Chain A
Amino acid sequence: MKRRDSLGVLLALALCTRAPAHADVYQSPESFIGEVFGQRVSPKVLWLTKLMQAQASAILGHPPAQLRQRYWREGGRSVWILEETGKEELIGAGFVVAHQQIDHVRVLAYRESRGQEVRQPAFLRQFKGARLARGASLDRDIDGIAGATLSVAAMERMARLALYFDASSRN
């Protein structure tokens, strides 16, 4: 391709593609919760005791940002909206927990410059059925995405935290 043609293609792409208002937010938490339950469900609050803060710190590798965690529960399922830093930016994800295992996961916001593949169903399906095992780790290995190691690790940490919070909220 001639140089002038290449520049033309870049310019055409720029002009023809409309920018959405919030390019890196794929779904709002409200929309995700509504999709899970099919009806309006009031939020509940889990207060993090010192013991829970210590366990959350062990899972995350840093102290949790929150002293209380909002969640939604209906018909044996709970929804946890969590945020965690991948490499540099926060990743927002919704976790649905049922019967002490992950039912499904959705990435709601992703702002890193690389690693958007963690949004793909093939990656997220690996969490289905995952439970907490010894040491608050997952009971399975999650295959990584080349070039997105830290985003994958952040998703794993959030999955473990969602399971831990779900278990704590039932006690």
Chain B
Amino acid sequence: MSYNRFRDADRTSKADLRRFVFGFGHRFNDSLTFNSEVEIEHAVASAGDQGEIEIEQAYLNYRFSDAVNIKGGLFLIPLGILNETHEPPAYFGVERNEVETRIIPTTWRELGFGVNGLVGEGLKYDVGVTTGFDTGKLDDPSVGIRSAHQEGQLANARDLSVYGALNYRRPGLLLGGGVFTGNTGQNGQTNPLLKAVAARLTLWDLHAKYSVGRLDLQALYAAGTLGDADRLNAAILSSAPAPFAAPKSLKGWYMQAANHVYRRGDFDLAPFVRYERFDIRQQEDPANGLLQDPNNLERVVTFGLNCRVHPQVVLKTDIQSYRTDKTKNRFNVGLGYMF
């Protein structure tokens, strides 16, 4: 549950049951398991409402050993820190950070097959082949390529993608990174002007998390490129009711520090601060009125407090300050739980 109160009186302050997620799983035997998440967003899902019902994950996992697991179905892509661990008690702030929303489109899932496992002490690998993006579906450049991800819904799959990730975990330490790449033109299945256009998308990230004593430190850098942006502009001009310049490169990073100032039993009080910056560069075409949106070059500072009353229940509050689009400056309150 979240409450966003904007400083700009012209923006509507809202309270929302943002996400309600059911997890279903089944163990067929010691090796074969099924995992799934069904999510309802914004409390009500109907033709006249903004809510959605989504399958976030639905995959089978066959575990040969710690070193080799094979999974198939709809699963989360292992890029960044947040995408695979996106439950509210697991991150700081009412809102998910902007970099892992606009550059890495959390909660990001694809249909496909993957292999993962632990190698040595604490090193986990992930590789796989999945569906990818369809840039014929781009309709909102403010969220990078997010609006082109297909979420397993009748996904155009002429062009598939591959991913790989390595994460090294020790007590208190996480170091990792990943890459995802594939063509996104989908042979013009959505927009005929993209027939034979590769529009290759490559996203990658590096991240680190370190907990020492009462201190939690976290940093992430994510970047990406989207090819054939000029061809994408032509396709957008032909079909979008309000044309915009296609994104051609994305990058962003954040640093975050939290201090668990008071811990007693299950109770944990942790103020935090996060600085983040993201640049979504667009392919400008002034002759056709396609220009860079200045709000896609943004810096955000978040000060807040996470109050866990139980390891699985958190009350959060924070203040967010945007340097470019100041109408987004706001005060947030959130309540999160998982069980």
Q: Which residue of A lies closest to B159 (CB)?
A: A3
Near B by CB (< 8 A), chain A positions 1-60 give 1, 3, 6-7, 9-10, 13-14, 17-25
Of A74-82, A98-106, A120-128, the one with at least 4 CB within 8 A of chain B: A120-128
B113 within 8 A of A: yes
Q: Contact mask A80-109 → B, CB, 8 Å, 1/0?
A: 000000001100000000000000000000
Q: Contact mask B114-156 → A, CB, 8 Å, 1/0?
A: 0100100110100111000000000000000000000000000
A153 to B28 Cα, complex, angstroms = 26
A103 to B70 Cα, complex, angstroms = 36
Query: Quick check: B23 and A88 within 8 Å, CB to CB?
Result: yes
**Interface residue ranges, A against B (CB under 8 Å):** 1, 3, 6-7, 9-10, 13-14, 17-25, 61, 88-89, 111, 113-114, 116-117, 119-123, 126, 135, 137, 141-150, 153
A24 to B30 Cα, complex, angstroms = 6
Known: A113-B61, A120-B122, A143-B211. A23 touches B31 (CB 8 A): yes
Consensus secondary structure, chain B interface? strand
Query: Quick check: B129 and A10 within 8 Å, CB to CB?
Result: yes
Contacts of A6 in B (CB 8 A): 127, 129, 162
Of B14-22, B165-173, B228-236, the one with at least 4 CB within 8 A of chain A: B165-173
Given contacts A10-B70, A135-B265, 18 further A-B contacts (CB under 8 A): A6-B129, A7-B129, A19-B31, A23-B63, A24-B63, A25-B30, A61-B310, A111-B33, A122-B121, A122-B170, A126-B171, A142-B171, A143-B171, A144-B211, A146-B169, A146-B209, A147-B84, A147-B85
**Which residue from B64, B66, B265 sits with its C-beta under 8 Å from A116?**
B66
Known: A145-B171, A146-B169. A22 touches B30 (CB 8 A): yes
Q: Chain A nearest CB: distance from B227 CB in Å?
A: 17
Query: Quick check: A18 and B171 within 8 Å, CB to CB?
Result: no
List the 6 closest pairs (A to B, CB-CB), nearest first.
Answer: A143-B172, A143-B171, A146-B174, A17-B64, A23-B31, A23-B63
A151 to B273 Cα, complex, angstroms = 27
Contacts of B266 in A (CB 8 A): 61
A111 to B62 Cα, complex, angstroms = 12
Known: A150-B312, A153-B311. A10 touches B63 (CB 8 A): no
Q: Chain A nearest CB: distance from B184 CB in Å?
A: 14
B223 within 8 A of A: no
Query: Quick check: A117 and B118 within 8 Å, CB to CB?
Result: yes
Contacts of B213 in A (CB 8 A): 141
Known: A17-B64, A17-B68. A147 touches B162 (CB 8 A): no
Known: A88-B23, A122-B171. A20 touches B70 (CB 8 A): no
Q: Which residue of A lies closest to B339 (CB)?
A: A87
Contacts of A21 in B (CB 8 A): 30
Q: Chain A nearest CB: distance from B92 CB in Å?
A: 13
Consensus secondary structure, chain A interface? loop
15 CB-based A-B contacts, threshold 8 Å? A6-B162, A18-B64, A19-B31, A19-B64, A23-B63, A111-B27, A117-B169, A120-B121, A120-B170, A141-B213, A142-B171, A144-B171, A146-B174, A149-B89, A153-B311
Q: Chain B nearest CB: distance from A2 CB in Å?
A: 10
A146 to B90 Cα, complex, angstroms = 9
A45 to B284 Cα, complex, angstroms = 76
Candidate in B70, B90, B113, B169 with the most chain A CB atoms within 10 angstroms: B169
B160 within 8 A of A: yes
Q: Chain B nearest CB: distance from A145 CB in Å?
A: 5
**Which residue from B70, B89, B129 sits with its C-beta under 8 Å from A14?**
B70
A25 to B30 Cα, complex, angstroms = 8
A6 to B163 Cα, complex, angstroms = 10
A88 to B62 Cα, complex, angstroms = 17
Q: Chain A nearest CB: distance from B331 CB in Å?
A: 27
Contacts of B128 in A (CB 8 A): 10
Contacts of B312 in A (CB 8 A): 150
Candidate in B25, B68, B89 with the most chain A CB atoms within 10 angstroms: B68
B81 within 8 A of A: yes
Contacts of A22 in B (CB 8 A): 30
**Which residue from A14, A88, A153 sits with its C-beta under 8 Å from B25?**
A88
Q: Chain A nearest CB: distance from B120 CB in Å?
A: 9
**Which residue from B62, B66, B90, B265 sits with its C-beta under 8 Å from A149?**
B90
Contacts of B35 in A (CB 8 A): 113
Query: Quick check: B174 and A147 within 8 Å, CB to CB?
Result: yes
Q: Chain A nearest CB: distance from B205 CB in Å?
A: 14
Q: Contact mask B67-103 → A, CB, 8 Å, 1/0?
A: 0101000000000010011000110000000000000
Query: Quick check: B162 and A3 within 8 Å, CB to CB?
Result: yes
Q: Contact mask B182-226 → A, CB, 8 Å, 1/0?
A: 000000000000000000000000000101010000000000000
